[in-house]
Amino acid sequence: MPNETVSWSRKNPFPAKLLVNRGLSGPYSANDTRHYELSLAGSGLTYEAGDAVGVMESNCLNLVQEILDALHCSGDECVPGEGGTQKRLRDALWKDYAINKPSMQFLHALADKADDSFLRSLLTPEHKPALEHYLEGLHIVDLLEEHPSARFTPEEFVSHLRKLLPRLYSVASSPKVHPENVHLTVATVRYESKGRLRKGVASTYLAERVAVGAVVPIFFHVAKGFRLPENGDIPIIMVGAGTGIAPFRAFLQERMAMGAKGGNWLFFGDQREKEDFLYREEFVKMRDDRFLTRLSTAFSRDQEEKIYVQHRMRENAAEIWKWLEEGGHFFVCGDASRMAKDVHAALREIIEMEGGKTPEQAAEYLEAMEKTKRYKRDVY
Ligand SMILES: Cc1cc2nc3c(=O)[nH]c(=O)nc-3n(C[C@H](O)[C@H](O)[C@H](O)COP(=O)(O)OP(=O)(O)OC[C@H]3O[C@@H](n4cnc5c(N)ncnc54)[C@H](O)[C@@H]3O)c2cc1C
Ligand SMILES: NC(=O)c1ccc[n+]([C@@H]2O[C@H](COP(=O)([O-])OP(=O)(O)OC[C@H]3O[C@@H](n4cnc5c(N)ncnc54)[C@H](OP(=O)(O)O)[C@@H]3O)[C@@H](O)[C@H]2O)c1
């Protein structure tokens, strides 16, 4: 029964029961990418393919304990939590504050308390690159342990922390197929730094700290700019690397449910075909059923030289140009810093070469595609 009296939002997240937590990566993969299903039953919430889910995670209790030890606190001390309400230090560190990467405010306070002239000099504007290098992989607890002379009262310590912010994850399901639940595709962030295993807050909260059957506080983040064309006859080209595949699984489910007749072309890139071909069976079946018109994969680490999605795009330049000229929509999802830039450059090159355009004309063509909402990116 939909609950129509409660309006769920970022401020009042819905407690969604975790139904499924399934590994998608092979046993020898360098990644641990997982498929999650969350129940929306009784929430009255609806979503659209292209939207994202905000997850209100909490911190790892082991890390909370490490910080309490470094602060010489029991955790029962009273401090202001999120919104100013008084709570136990342990609970505030668990749920309210970001306790991994240090804020600038904390670094300044630490430099003063420890009278650390090296750190103080790193905090000057001219040493910004050196500071970034120094902070790589460095957590608050490492800094507390490296500066035992710096003593903070519990209240003072939390006053230097940032709020714990929710993380966004692209919806990986279509509400037409799964109206009562929502799927996510999440790469678990784990890395080693300063001899310790470090964990991304939200991705390991989902992977390790929420049991199936327990609830995850969520809200929907509407992405109006990342939508399928309403007309199912329009062809679509989707380019996704790694977890960038998530919204395209949703799009394909949606187009199938709509009975869309337009072509569907998926470019997918990841490290190794055997270990990292996310949702392989589903996409291969869609291709074999001739619903997914083309499936072009790029596995970067299966051979000596890197092969990325943009290499596959270049190999198919004439065909991509044809789809664009037929009014096709072009979608990109995944890493913003490298992949999306390179895909953009490849697309411009294809337009230039195949459309016989100057670099300026190709840039204008892309701008026009963006303006008419035919070139859409969801990159992070
Ligand atoms: C619109 C949008 C959609 C998104 N969709 C998805 C999605 O579908 N799937 C998905 O998995 N993610 C997605 N993300 C990213 C996601 O929101 C989180 O940023 C990601 O999961 C990391 O969050 P975390 O809390 O686990 O890690 P955090 O605690 O935020 O830690 C991540 C940080 O750890 C540090 N770090 C990571 N690796 C290393 C390393 N090897 N060495 C040193 N430092 C390192 C980096 O500083 C990095 O910024 C999306 C983001 C946006 C904005
Ligand atoms: N902004 C961010 O902080 C950010 C964004 C995305 C992912 N990540 C992190 O990276 C890890 C895995 O994430 P993910 O599964 O989404 O995959 P990913 O790291 O984005 O990698 C997916 C594929 O993209 C390839 N790739 C690397 N550079 C590329 C480029 N310039 N152009 C095209 N493809 C390129 C990778 O190849 P190679 O690795 O072999 O070069 C790999 O085959 C997670 O820990 C995730 O949190 C961080």
Show pLDDT as tens, one digit a residue, over the chain (380 residues): 555 567 999 999 999 999 999 999 999 999 999 999 999 999 999 999 999 999 999 999 999 999 999 999 999 999 999 888 999 999 999 999 999 999 999 999 999 999 999 999 999 999 999 999 999 989 999 999 999 999 999 999 999 999 999 999 999 999 999 999 999 999 999 999 988 899 999 999 999 999 999 999 999 999 999 999 999 999 999 999 999 999 999 999 999 999 999 999 999 999 999 999 999 999 999 999 999 999 999 999 999 999 999 999 999 999 999 999 999 999 999 999 999 999 999 999 999 999 999 999 999 999 999 999 999 999 99
Q: In which domain, by residue range, is 105 found?
A: 61-159
From ligand 2's centre to the CA of 74, what distance in Å? 40
Domain count, the chain: 3
Domain boundary among 159, 187, 210: 159
Q: Which structure tokens are listed for 286?
A: 């869609």
Last residue of a domain, one of 134, 159, 184: 159
CB 59 within 8 A of CB 48: no
Is 266 in the same domain as 243? yes
Q: Is the CB of 189 under 6 A from ligand 1?
A: yes
Between the CA of 189 and the centroid of ligand 1 the distance, in Å, is 7
CA angle, 70 then 76 then 81, to 5°: 90
User: Would residue 330 count as lying in a domain?
Assistant: yes
Looking at the domain assignment, is residue 271 inside a domain? yes
User: Measured in angstroms, how far is the CA atom of residue 337 from the centroid of ligand 2?
Assistant: 9
- C-alpha distance from residue 6 to each of 40, 117, 186, 203 (Å): 13, 53, 28, 28
- Which CATH number does the domain housing residue 188 bear? 2.40.30.10
Q: Is there a domain that residue 9 lies in?
A: no
From the list 129, 142, 149, 73, the residue with the least C-alpha distance to 102 is: 142
Ligand 2 mean position to 241 CA, how many Å? Answer: 7
- For residues 83 and 155, membership in a common domain is answered with yes
Nearest CA to ligand 2 atom 45: 189
SS3 (DSSP) at 262: coil
Is residue 75 in a domain? yes
> Could you tell me the distance, in angstroms and rounded to a whole number, from the CA of residue 200 to the centre of ligand 1?
7
Cα–Cα distances (Å) from 207 to 43, 62, 63, 93, 343, in that order, read 24, 15, 16, 20, 30
The Å distance, Cα 336 to ligand 2 centre, comes to 9
Q: Which ligand is nearest to the CA of 207?
A: 1
Amino acid at 32: D
* Residue of minimum CA distance from atom 44 in ligand 1: 137
The CATH number of the domain holding residue 294 is 3.40.50.80
Which atom of ligand 1 approaches the CA of 167 most closely?
17
**Pocket-testing residue among 97, 169, 206, 379, ligand 1, by greatest number of atoms within 8 A of Cβ:** 169
What is the CB < 6 Å shell around ligand 2?
A: 31, 33, 187, 189, 241-243, 269-271, 300-301, 306, 308-310, 334-339, 342, 380
Alpha-helical segments (H) within 316-358: 317-325, 339-355
- Residue 98 CB–ligand 1 contact under 6 Å: no
* Single pTM value for the model: 0.95
Retrieve residue 175's tokens: 């509400």
DSSP-derived pairing of the beta strands 215-221 and 52-55: antiparallel
Q: Is 293 in the pocket of ligand 1 (CB under 6 A)?
A: no
